[in-house]
Every structure is written in structure tokens, then in C-alpha cells.
């Protein structure tokens, strides 16, 4: 029997609508609504050609949708219609709107098909955030 290590807690799953700018450490189960390649370039500056691939995917759950930026190997996992678990995801800001990303500290896993319907009329990446400095009078 595996002993549970202290500090490893069962991840709390976040819903898309709970995502906020500047937050990280999210674990979400989302469905991929659409995925499009935005960048694909090979760097042939060494013995092995390093392929840099970025895809923008619209992912969501029953509370809303957000754009997930998939990089390199992640691109192969986020196929349209697939359900994925994003572990330790973080929010990146891009031109004032939120993007979900998983860096080297997190991972993307293909999951069993989820039985929810994505709420497509609540796209968090369409909300623009402004950095506002609050001045105390």
C-alpha cells in the first residue's frame, strides 16, 4: 500500500469561471472546443531540429470557456472534442485578457470523456482586464 506523503494533497479541481488574472496552481478538467496552430517553426541550428509549436485552444467546462495556449508536446494532446485534465495550470495575461497555460511544472493529461456541455456563452478570454491603480483619497 502506498503511503500518502505529507504535502501531497488531493488536487482541488477549479471550474473555468473561478479563474482570475495572476492565479496559478489550477487543476481543471476541460473539453477542447477548438484548437488552431498559431506557430510552428523548426530551429535547425544543431544536430537535432527543435520544433517549436504553439496552438491556441478554446477549452471549457459547464461554467465557461477560456483560451488555453498549448506548447510543443501539449499540442498533440489537445484535439478538438477531447477531454483533458490540466494540472498545475496558470493564468497568463495576453493583451489584457486571460489565457490558460501549463508550464514545465504542470502537465496535460487526456482524460475520460466528460459528460458536461461546455458553456460557450461565457468566454473568459473575451473579458478585458485593465491594470487599475487604486488611489486612496
Per-residue model confidence as pLDDT tens digits over 25-43: 999 999 999 999 998 877 6
Residues 6 or more apart whose CB falls under 8 angstroms from that of 79 comprise: 32, 35
Question: In the chain, at which residue ranges do the beta strands (DSSP E only) sit?
Answer: 24-43, 50-61, 64-71, 83-94, 97-101, 107-110
pLDDT band at 9 (very low <50, low <70, confident <90, very high): low
Domain that holds residue 51: 16-126
Contact 108, 40 (CB under 8 A): no
Asked if the structure places residue 9 within a domain, the reply is no
Asked if the structure places residue 38 within a domain, the reply is yes
Q: How, if at all, do strands 83-94 and 97-101 pair?
A: antiparallel
The reported pLDDT for the residue numbered 4 is 47
CA angle, 53 as apex, 50 and 54 as ends, to 5°?
150
Residue 70 phi/psi, 5-degree rounding, is -95, 135
Verdict on whether the full-model pTM lies above 0.85: no
Asked if the structure places residue 64 within a domain, the reply is yes
Task: Specify the number of domains making up the chain.
Answer: 1
Rounded Cα–Cα distance for residues 24 and 28 (Å): 11
Better pLDDT: 100 or 131: 100
Asked if the structure places residue 63 within a domain, the reply is yes
Rounded Cα–Cα distance for residues 2 and 127 (Å): 44
pLDDT band at 67 (very low <50, low <70, confident <90, very high): very high
Query: HSE of 104 in the Cβ direction (CA atoms, 13 Å)?
Result: 0
Question: Could you tell me the three cell numbers for 25?
Answer: 496552481
The reported pLDDT for the residue numbered 39 is 84
Asked if the structure places residue 6 within a domain, the reply is no
Q: What is the CATH number of the domain that holds 82?
A: 2.40.50.140
pLDDT at residue 68 is higher than 60 = yes
Amino acid at each position: 500500500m502506498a503511503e500518502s506523503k505529507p504535502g501531497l494533497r488531493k488536487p482541488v479541481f477549479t471550474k473555468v469561471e473561478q479563474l482570475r488574472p495572476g492565479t496559478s496552481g489550477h487543476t481543471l478538467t476541460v473539453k477542447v472546443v477548438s484548437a488552431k496552430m498559431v506557430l510552428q517553426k523548426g530551429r535547425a541550428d544543431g544536430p537535432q531540429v527543435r520544433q517549436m509549436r504553439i496552438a491556441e485552444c478554446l477549452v471549457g467546462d459547464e461554467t465557461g470557456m477560456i483560451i488555453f495556449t498549448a506548447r510543443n508536446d501539449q499540442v498533440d494532446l489537445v484535439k478538438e472534442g477531447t477531454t483533458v485534465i490540466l494540472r498545475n495550470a496558470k493564468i497568463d495575461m495576453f493583451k489584457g485578457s486571460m489565457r490558460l497555460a501549463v508550464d514545465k511544472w504542470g502537465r496535460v493529461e487526456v482524460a475520460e470523456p466528460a459528460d458536461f456541455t461546455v458553456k460557450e456563452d461565457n468566454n473568459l478570454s473575451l473579458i478585458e482586464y485593465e491594470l487599475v491603480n487604486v488611489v486612496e483619497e
